[in-house]
Structure 1
Amino acid sequence: MKIRQAGSYFSITGVKVGGVQARLEIRELEQQPEMWNLFLLGLDRYKAMDQNDKLSYFQIAGIHGAPFIDWDGVQGSGQVGYCTHGSNLFGTWHRPYLAVFEQILLDRVYEIVDEFPNGPTKDKYRDASSRLRLPYWDWAMTPPNGGTILPASTTTETVDVTFPNGTTGTIHNPLYDYKFHPLTPSDFPGDFPPFDEWPATLRQPSDFTVNATSQNGAVEDVLSSPGGFDSYRSTLYTLFTVYQGFTQFSNKGSGGSIGNLESIHDFIHGTFGSGHMGYVPVAAFDPIFWLHHCNVDRILALWQAVYPDTYLLPYVNQFATYTIAAGTVEDTNSPLTPFHTDSAGDFWTSEKSRYTDIFGYTYPEIQGNPSNDTLKAAINALYAPTTNGVIAKRQATENPLDYLSRVELPTSLGSTYSVRVFLGDFSSDASTWPTDPNLVGSHTSLSSPAMRNDLIVTHSVPLTQALRKRYESGDLKSLDQDVIIEYLKTNLHWRIQQQDLTEIPRDQAPEGLKVTTTSIEVVSPKSASDFPHWVGDFTDHPEISGN
């Protein structure tokens, strides 16, 4: 494939029209008629750009992985994309990546506004365009109005829009999929599902034939299951409330021991099954990738605002990228390739992209630089459990306990896979595990053959809320620690599962895979603007190994 444009490098500035504006949750954006209409029309036009254009949707998505070609003159090699996973650059690399996507998208929007006839309607749309930014999909908030976690606006095949000439019509929903035009099989080599045959992106594909269809309902079933939403929301809240340094919080490759943002991100990717979102080289072609990663960036920005004094520290990058060799020490001044700050060829770095304002956007919770107490109250309102949820110790004067399964997951398999943790009996049919009622959580490693290495990623599956529910149902007879330990010894199970839902027998587990159970004392919050916090050391429970 040839890059059509030549000459100076593309300058990634973010959106400069309208100053700093908030990216909105997608269901909030839907409530803004002009902004929503422009977003749909702009995304539709963006996706229609010639795939040979380096600013096309196809080539911007391709930066992340396949088709493994140079972008904007930044040379590399190997069957892997520019994206940084398992790296201290994970969060900061995706920030200019989202910014260039947003910048090009809004350029298409401004073109559309210019096509409206002069008058009040055009003025209204021009004002809306100045406030428009890329929306995020908050997969951890309680859906509004009893809706689905996966927004309905991303799962309908058609959508109604108003065109600049004033007429209305129905178009193919640009959030539903990306149709390759054309699909070039050689762009997608490797040991994957038939990405070299599927003419459009798929989610939880119905089969592996060329006629496969998306099963968005199956994605929703996984997201909304007890082992989905309840688990990853609880883990996210823990990551906000239990301090780790930025490097440990942000990614799975920097030695964190309680969990990290990237591993939650991996799980969300995994809910899309054997579709494009489940595989690193092709994930970015699905339009929902951008809404998902916008939320990951938002969580990163909120966490930065809560803990402003910590930032990225030098760390050895475990995974090779298109331009970075495995074993390279990365720091705040490492170039975030292939993203240029100017036409002369200077690169964005983590230092330059530390704050979102530089790209012309912010998020509602941090707009106006609220106090730490105000921000914590907003996070509590969004993600705190509805009940205390922690388990009492035997002495009323002692702090209650949180229980967790700690999963150490090797990346040596070179493919996306998960460890599923159950409390109680579960189906013998592995294909039903992601939605099993007794699944309490999963640890997913998003990977590809080119990302195979010896890194072991540690993440925690929360058990406390699940134990409380079993106590309330009568299945767990007491909240005494001794009773809980005996219950877990009998009822805690774990299994290993490939992305195609086939089981990996435990006796064939990748070397280094380990599941242990631990507990720690927790001090409850004292106000709406206070976080719970862990105190003391973890207590390991070697007698609970999982059945």
Structure 2
Amino acid sequence: MSAVNYPIVGAPKPSPSPADGSVPLRLEIRQLQQNADQWNLYLLGLDAFKKIDETSDLSYYGVCGIHGRPYRPWGGVAGDNDVQGGWQGYCTHTSILFGPWHRPFLALFEQLLYGIIQGIASQFPDDTRARYQAAASTFRIPYWDWAATPDSNDYFPNAAGGSQTVDVITPTSNGQAVPMANPLYSTTFTPLNPEQGDFAPLGRTPYDQWPTTLRYPTSTRSVKATSDETQVFDAMATQFAGMQQNINILMNDPNYKVLSAFSNHMWAGDSPSTAASLEDVHNSIHTAVGGNMGHMSELDYSAFDPVFWLHHCNVDRLFAIWQAINPTSYTIDETTETGNFVTVAGSVETSSTPLTPFVDASGSNYWTAETVRQTETFNYAYPETQRWAFTSDSDYQNAVADAVQQLYGGLSNQFSGEEALNLMSVRPVVAAVTPVNKAVNKDNGEITHSNGSAHLHTNGAANVPAQKPVADEDSGFHPFHNLAERIKDAVHIHSHPDQAESGALDLEEEIGKPAPPVPAQPRSYTEYIVNIKAPKHILGQTYRVHIFLGEFHGDTKTWNTQDALVGTFAVFGKETTPGSEDETKCGKCKTDAAANTIITGTVPLTAQIISEVKKGHCGSLDKANVLPYLKDNLHWRVTLADGTEKDREEVPGLVVSVVSTEVALPVGQRPRYSGVYTVHPEITAGRPAGLGTNV
């Protein structure tokens, strides 16, 4: 098996190459927008890329299809692993190769887009051509940092979802901005259903009928469905705090210093300390952007949505940051249960496993996890990973770790503030006063509002359900906005004051003297996390587990954006039953299902608990208050791909539990996660899919 067609080398270095060994940076999308010429070229290039004939492997359609549909070999790489027949797929989801495989995938996309942009820059008139060519020479694809607080409150970039049109300067527009369709908003299939031999390009309805990619489709069935972009913005704002904290945990908790724990969501035993992963957070972003049956929510179609590339560029960046912090932990030696198009199930995935279909500069050898280890191999880096700017490895690692704390430190930065010393009092719990009609669900004792789809869920412990949480007037459009400034009004932190010196204080001597400064003191706080374990293909389709804290409306269409939503665990399952109308042609998915592959994920709760404390719903952050509050107010529900609710008892193997871990805040140092996790079975036990009830 060989492929000689498309060597992948990434975008080239500038010529002449800088003496310091530096390479161009991939920038955050909002930062790239500040470079008007590169931004203009990026939009023009992406638009031109999408117009290449879909039958070409080097078209936008062809490259996106590597990730799933249309289930055709790419670049001359024909698989010889015919276990169970059908397409085995190249993509390495639920695999330790998740991060390494996507790196050359992005490099291929960047290489092709870079070439297109060079051609466009050369077409500008004489008086501006050199300017655009200079901008084009260092172009790299941007990323969307969905885990860092945006200055402009656009938790989803306005450039990608704010408008269906955008103004650009073209080589023939005489320097004047002219409108065109926004290439970051959607992708139009032209034609919708091209001939692909034996492969069904876009699969089942409605994907074979929707002419463009959609986010939060206004209908999951109608060919006339459109995107509801406001829900993307709301969903990202609603779930932002938990996503940010997930990244903070992955970068700082000692349990994630090993690549197999950090990289992917494959279940690795019953340890409560490694349920998180980069792949799990990545899944949540897919569904938060796509919504019910939007293209981003289904891996077969997700790469066609242009935001996929912004998202995965950030996933690669976070992987690179983790590599910089953990330079000796890049160990890949793991048995794969499932295999893929060219890897047999049961074989061992190592640093030399071929990352098919991606061929290196030789035209005959595949890239491997070892050969793609450094981003500089493909002539790019990220703002945080400029190794050439530091004189020592230790200085570089410390700088990267500091950047992580600055970007994703979130809560811990505020717990360290001196103003927190005075916040030791317990706040009374404020009861809600709005009565509702109630109907008891006999299966689990939970209370449901009886007015159809507008019902409220509670655990049945409170006599009167609380009102739907409402954001403060100064909080923008979501209660987590400005959380950093407002956290001091809510938190109750643990402090460890030094022991007082012996001897009595001479009060007369002290009269008239200014009060001495309060010395900084080490502290700690408790991080609360929901752990979720689920079989990947048990329902024969994508499904989601929504985690709520406090009461929530029962209309499933609102579950992605409700204030009570803490986060969503996404499971990208497929129908693998032979002969089924929706049977997947993905052989990897079939072997996944046959192996009963289990995946895990986490939803951090601490930020939402603080919000509940501030509202008076929870007395304080002391465990004596938090644990009973979680038992009474933590909820989880399951929805299918189209948003239909699925009874939790009909998802065998789904387990939801709550754990906690301590985070120390040494004076003048970065937070330190203890790495020790305590399981709190009483919070979820006895409820559908709760710990101990459905293992």
Tell whether the 8 Å contact from 1:406 to 1:515 is kept in structure 2 after alignment: yes
One of 513, 536, 541 as aligned partner of 1:411: 536
Q: Pick closer, same or farther for the CA change 1:333–1:479 going to 2, 3 Å.
A: same
SS at match of 2:301: helix
Q: Pick closer, same or farther for the CA change 1:233–1:148 going to 2, 3 Å.
A: closer
One of 268, 271, 295 as aligned partner of 1:276: 295
Structure 1, residues 390-432: CA drift from partner, whole Å, max 9, x if none?
8656998985322111111220334222211122222222222
Q: Pick closer, same or farther for the CA change 1:393–1:524 going to 2, 3 Å.
A: closer
Tell whether the 8 Å contact from 2:267 to 2:533 is kept in structure 1 after alignment: no
Q: Pick closer, same or farther for the CA change 1:172–1:443 going to 2, 3 Å.
A: same
Displacement of 1:139: 1.1
- What corresponds to 1:463 in structure 2? 605
Matched-pair identity in % = 39
Tell whether the 8 Å contact from 1:66 to 1:282 is kept in structure 2 after alignment: yes
One of 561, 566, 572 as aligned partner of 1:440: 566
Distance 1:380 1:7 in 2: 43
Specify the code of the residue in structure 2 equivalent to 1:133.
R
- What corresponds to 1:424 in structure 2? 550
Specify the code of the residue in structure 2 equivalent to 1:283.
S
Tell whether the 8 Å contact from 1:269 to 1:446 is kept in structure 2 after alignment: no
Q: Pick closer, same or farther for the CA change 1:101–1:327 going to 2, 3 Å.
A: same
Q: Pick closer, same or farther for the CA change 1:312–1:282 going to 2, 3 Å.
A: farther
* Runs ≥4 residues deviating over 6 A: 393-398
Matches within 5 A, 1:85-234: 85-119=93-127, 121-167=128-174, 168=176, 169-184=178-193, 188=200, 192-207=204-219, 208-225=221-238, 228-234=239-245
Displacement of 1:144: 2.4
Tell whether the 8 Å contact from 2:533 to 2:654 is kept in structure 1 after alignment: yes
SS at match of 2:653: coil
Distance 1:463 1:306 in 2: 25
Matches within 5 A, 1:284-299: 284-299=303-318
Distance 2:10 2:349 in 1: 24
Gaps of 5+ in 2: 18-22, 80-84, 391-395, 416-486, 499-522, 576-585, 688-695
Q: Pick closer, same or farther for the CA change 1:139–1:377 going to 2, 3 Å.
A: same
Deviating more after overlay: 476-485 vs 81-90: 476-485
Deviating more after overlay: 75-84 vs 38-47: 75-84
Specify the code of the residue in structure 2 equivalent to 1:517.
V
Specify the code of the residue in structure 2 equivalent to 1:409.
A
Specify the code of the residue in structure 1 equivalent to 2:117.
V
- What corresponds to 1:41 in structure 2? 44
Displacement of 1:166: 4.6
Q: Pick closer, same or farther for the CA change 1:315–1:254 going to 2, 3 Å.
A: farther
Structure 1, residues 419-470: CA drift from partner, whole Å, max 9, x if none?
1112222222222222222122221123333425212222221122222222
Deviating more after overlay: 256-265 vs 329-338: 256-265
Deviating more after overlay: 330-339 vs 464-473: 464-473
Displacement of 1:188: 4.3
Structure 1, residues 115-142: CA drift from partner, whole Å, max 9, x if none?
12334x2111111011110011111111
Cα RMSD (Å):
2.3
One of 281, 284, 291 as aligned partner of 1:267: 284
Distance 2:546 2:311 in 1: 22
TM-score w.r.t. the length of structure 1 is 0.92
Displacement of 1:369: 4.8
Distance 1:96 1:140 in 2: 23
One of 25, 30, 33 as aligned partner of 1:30: 33
Deviating more after overlay: 533-542 vs 351-360: 533-542
- What corresponds to 1:372 in structure 2? 397
Structure 1, residues 1-29: CA drift from partner, whole Å, max 9, x if none?
xxxxx994211110114252000111111
Please say if 1:68 is aligned against 2:68.
no
Tell whether the 8 Å contact from 1:197 to 1:210 is kept in structure 2 after alignment: yes
Specify the code of the residue in structure 2 equivalent to 1:292.
H
Q: Between Structure 1 and Structure 2, whose CA radius of gyration is higher?
A: 2
Distance 1:116 1:545 in 2: 63
Q: Pick closer, same or farther for the CA change 1:53–1:410 going to 2, 3 Å.
A: same
Q: Pick closer, same or farther for the CA change 1:116–1:428 going to 2, 3 Å.
A: closer
Distance 2:667 2:86 in 1: 53
Tell whether the 8 Å contact from 1:270 to 1:446 is kept in structure 2 after alignment: no
Tell whether the 8 Å contact from 1:65 to 1:280 is kept in structure 2 after alignment: yes
- What corresponds to 1:83 in structure 2? 91
Structure 1, residues 232-288: CA drift from partner, whole Å, max 9, x if none?
111111111113101210111263723000000000111112111111111111111
Q: Pick closer, same or farther for the CA change 1:425–1:417 going to 2, 3 Å.
A: same
Displacement of 1:525: 4.7
Specify the code of the residue in structure 2 equivalent to 1:357.
E
Tell whether the 8 Å contact from 1:404 to 1:518 is kept in structure 2 after alignment: yes
Distance 1:501 1:531 in 2: 41
Deviating more after overlay: 189-198 vs 153-162: 189-198
Distance 1:322 1:349 in 2: 15
Q: Pick closer, same or farther for the CA change 1:481–1:348 going to 2, 3 Å.
A: same
Tell whether the 8 Å contact from 1:332 to 1:351 is kept in structure 2 after alignment: yes
Distance 1:286 1:479 in 2: 41
SS at match of 1:87: coil
Q: Pick closer, same or farther for the CA change 1:192–1:155 going to 2, 3 Å.
A: farther
Matches within 5 A, 1:328-367: 328-367=347-386
TM-score w.r.t. the length of structure 2 is 0.73
Distance 1:111 1:190 in 2: 31
Structure 1, residues 62-97: CA drift from partner, whole Å, max 9, x if none?
111111111111013624531110001100000000
One of 390, 406, 410 as aligned partner of 1:385: 410
Q: Pick closer, same or farther for the CA change 1:500–1:396 going to 2, 3 Å.
A: farther
Matches within 5 A, 1:14-29: 14-18=10-14, 20-29=23-32
- What corresponds to 1:3 in structure 2? none
Tell whether the 8 Å contact from 2:70 to 2:202 is kept in structure 1 after alignment: no
One of 512, 520, 534 as aligned partner of 2:653: 512
Q: Pick closer, same or farther for the CA change 1:165–1:329 going to 2, 3 Å.
A: same
Q: Pick closer, same or farther for the CA change 1:375–1:142 going to 2, 3 Å.
A: same
Displacement of 1:320: 4.0
- What corresponds to 1:495 in structure 2? 637
Count of aligned positions: 536
Deviating more after overlay: 456-465 vs 87-96: 456-465
Q: Pick closer, same or farther for the CA change 1:146–1:406 going to 2, 3 Å.
A: closer
Q: Pick closer, same or farther for the CA change 1:191–1:326 going to 2, 3 Å.
A: farther
Structure 1, residues 314-361: CA drift from partner, whole Å, max 9, x if none?
112244433333333211000000000035411000000001001011
- What corresponds to 1:521 in structure 2? 662
Distance 1:241 1:395 in 2: 22
- What corresponds to 2:437 in structure 1? none
Distance 1:519 1:257 in 2: 12
